[in-house]
């Protein structure tokens, strides 16, 4: 399947207009992380290098067609001394499938603090998913064959009192990535949509559901490498009425908090495939 370089490939068509490549895929609709990653790359291309991404907020509006490219229209909302803001709309066939606001910041001095990294078994002590999946699941995960993803078994989690649903995932890109820090940020935006909604399924492993990302927000705190191990500590504090709220914090091996994610997703009981389907979401 596509490498991350191929998945994030962007063509500059006109000032503030970009086209994202369609890539080889087995998915019936465009992967939400690819849309978010390409939208972020488009926004990055319109700001000066001194600005760094510090947050994004996106909404998945319609399913994307994975065999068609997506055009990204960038609006330059704000140009400030310390902050600038971009709004990006992803379009297919004249209709918006995704919209995102991204904010960029020139770093300043200020007080620092962070939570302690949660305990988790090291990734080397966990099996590579490729060696443990059923043939059916392994076929499905071919879409992300370039990622090393290792889920912490539920019996090895350090559980929080009162938490409804928790999940921990170690991940890294299997191959060396470019040195550009912004490429790693866009790579993480791609990956952050990959397992997060699954945390809402932890208490309901046998319930057949239709799942899709509805909105997605990220905050980036410090530089990191997506080809080094990162711990995605996830939870789902609520699910109901066909939706679920999920959140995750991402740590490097040194215990530094590098990013945080919040996502609401569709998680409703699976319906008759010939019945009506929800129009939104891409994952």
Handedness of CA 199, 205, 207, 208 (dihedral sign): positive
- Beta pairing partners, 243: 240, 266
Which residue in 226, 230, 127 sits closest to 181, CA to CA? 226
DSSP string, the chain: ---HHHHT-EEEEETTEEEEPP-----SS--HHHHHHHHHHHHHTTS-TT-EEEEEEEEE-S---TTS-EEEEEEEEEE-SSEEEEEEEEEETTEEEEEEEEEEE---------PPPPP---GGGS--GGGTS-HHHHHHGGGGTTEEEEEPPGGG--PPTT-S-EEEEEEEESS---S-HHHHHHHHHHHTTSSGGGGGGTT-TT--EEEEEEEEEEEE-S---TTS-EEEEEEEEEEETTEEEEEEEEEETTS-EEEEEEEEEEEEEPPPTTS--------
The residues annotated as belonging to the active site are: 193, 213, 263
Residue (of 281, 261, 270, 266) closest to 200 by Cα position? 266
CA 41, chain centre distance (Å): 14
């Amino acid at each position: 399947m596509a490498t991350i370089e191929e998945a994030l490939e962007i063509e500059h068509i006109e000032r503030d207009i970009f086209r994202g490549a369609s890539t080889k895929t087995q998915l019936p609709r465009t992967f939400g992380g690819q849309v978010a990653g390409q939208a972020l790359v488009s926004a990055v291309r319109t700001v000066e290098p001194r600005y760094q991404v510090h947050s994004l907020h996106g909404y998945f509006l319609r399913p994307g067609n994975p065999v068609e490219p997506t055009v990204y229209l960038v609006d330059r909302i704000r140009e400030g001394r310390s902050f600038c803001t971009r709004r990006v709309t992803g379009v297919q066939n004249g209709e918006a499938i995704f919209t995102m606001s991204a904010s960029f910041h020139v770093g300043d001095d200020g007080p620092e603090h962070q939570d302690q990294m949660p305990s988790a078994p090291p990734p080397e002590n966990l099996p590579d998913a490729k060696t443990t999946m059923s043939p059916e699941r392994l076929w499905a995960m071919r879409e992300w064959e370039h990622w090393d993803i290792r889920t912490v078994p539920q019996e090895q989690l350090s559980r929080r009192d009162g938490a409804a649903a928790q999940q921990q995932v170690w991940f890294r890109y299997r191959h060396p990535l470019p040195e550009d820090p912004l490429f790693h940020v866009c790579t993480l935006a791609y990956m952050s949509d990959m397992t997060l909604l699954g945390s809402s399924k932890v208490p309901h492993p046998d319930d057949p559901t239709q799942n899709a990302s509805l909105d997605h927000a990220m905050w980036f705190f410090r530089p990191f490498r997506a080809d080094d191990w990162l711990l995605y500590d996830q939870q789902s504090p609520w699910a109901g009425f066909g939706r679920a709220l999920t959140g995750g914090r991402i740590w490097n091996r040194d215990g530094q908090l590098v990013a945080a994610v919040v996502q609401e997703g569709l998680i409703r009981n699976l319906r008759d495939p010939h019945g009506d389907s929800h129009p939104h979401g891409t994952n």
